[in-house]
């Protein structure tokens, strides 16, 4: 089996609904772009992500009597298959546990989320020597995917408050489409990658349409080899922006927005097992016209190549 190459891959896996919910990474819109181990033929893994936010916040993020603390815990089973060294198929099945806490009490729900299937084509895969025989590797992947409406969507949750941002869902009840690209450049053991993803959302049967979303990310990494163990610390930035939602053709004011996050992580590989972690914190944000405040988010994963 070829060596693992630590590179950013847009997994697209996971329901992504492109609202502030999508940006915050909650149940109906958990989106992940990050560093994953590249692989030769097949890989399967489990990923756990934790995200939280505060909705109904006041001026400058101050808490009010309506402020709600929302928590989203997502466990994902995902896998990837490479065909003819050029084509890659990836699939993700999420399971979410959503919880919100406010003065009225605590509410929770759990269940299967929206399944995503994505395909990629490797347009560039070059290796050359530069700067006195130093190895320089480049790769460019282009692809797209589809998100299926497999997660539960409850329209009652959309209307249970006077100013609800429709975040507290397991799925979007819509079939959505994704286009993506990823470029990676590595000089010996130091690398940097750039990724872009655009998600096009359609309306669901309840006449609700989540806004389209653009995600851009860049990450730098360095591989440290200790016999058969490879450790790759990484750090980077992610920018996400989404348009507003539409409910029965009417713009939902407290939706959409943008956020810039910074983060760091580490990926490890030993033989055919990869283990990694990532942590992100908001650097600037304007979500739901200031109505929503995203908190830190984290991710843990383990994957097996075969």
CATH of the domain at 266: 2.40.128.130
pLDDT at 95: 94
Secondary element (H or E) of residue 272: none
Query: Domain range holding 29?
Result: 6-305
* Percentage of the chain lying above the pLDDT 70 cut: 83
Reduce the secondary structure of 203-256 to three states and give it as a string. CCCCCEECCCEEEEEEEEEECEEECCEEEEEEEEEEEEEECCEEECCEEECCCC
pTM for this model (two decimals): 0.86
Tokens 């929503």, residue located: 292
User: How many Å apart are CA 193 and CA 173, to the nearest integer?
Assistant: 33
How many domains does one find in the chain? 1
| Residues pairing with 182 in the sheet | 141, 195
Whether 264 maps to a domain, the answer reads yes
Regions of the chain where pLDDT drops below 70: 1-40, 58-62, 159-165
Residue 1 included in any domain? no
pLDDT at 174: 92
Dist CA 166 CA 159 (whole Å):
8
pLDDT at residue 82, as a whole number:
87
pLDDT at residue 35 in the model: 52
* pLDDT at residue number 159: 62
- Beta-carbon contacts of residue 132 (< 8 Å; ≥ 6 apart): none
| Bridging pattern class, strands 273-287 and 208-209 | unpaired
């Amino acid at each position: 089996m070829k060596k693992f190459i630590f590179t950013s891959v847009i997994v697209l896996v996971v329901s992504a609904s492109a609202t502030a919910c999508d940006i915050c990474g909650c149940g109906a819109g958990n989106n992940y772009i990050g560093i994953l181990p590249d692989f030769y033929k097949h890989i399967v893994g489990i990923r756990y992500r934790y995200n939280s936010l505060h909705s109904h916040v006041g001026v400058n993020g101050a808490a009010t009597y309506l402020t709600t603390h929302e928590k989203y815990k997502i466990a994902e089973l995902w896998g990837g298959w490479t065909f003819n060294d050029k084509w890659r198929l990836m699939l993700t099945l999420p399971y979410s546990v959503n919880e919100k806490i406010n003065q009225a009490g605590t509410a929770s729900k759990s269940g299967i989320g929206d399944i995503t299937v994505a395909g990629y084509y490797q347009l560039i895969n070059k290796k050359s020597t530069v700067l006195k025989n130093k190895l320089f590797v480049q790769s460019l992947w282009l692809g797209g995917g589809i998100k299926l409406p497999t997660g539960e969507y409850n329209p009652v949750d959309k209307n249970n408050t006077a100013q609800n941002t429709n975040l507290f869902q397991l799925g979007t009840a819509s079939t959505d489409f994704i286009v993506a690209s990823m470029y990676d450049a590595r000089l010996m053991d130091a690398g940097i990658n750039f990724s872009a993803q655009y998600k096009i959302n359609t309306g669901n049967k309840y006449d609700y349409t989540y806004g389209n979303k653009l995600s851009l990310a860049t990450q730098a990494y360095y591989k440290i080899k200790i016999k058969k163990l490879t450790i790759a610390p990484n750090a980077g930035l992610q920018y996400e922006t989404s348009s507003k939602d539409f409910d029965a053709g009417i713009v939902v004011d407290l939706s959409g927005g943008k956020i810039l996050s910074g983060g760091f992580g580490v990926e490890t590989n030993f033989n055919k097992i990869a283990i990694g972690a990532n942590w992100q914190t908001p650097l600037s944000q304007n979500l739901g016209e200031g109505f929503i405040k995203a908190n830190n988010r984290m991710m843990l994963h383990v994957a097996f190549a075969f």
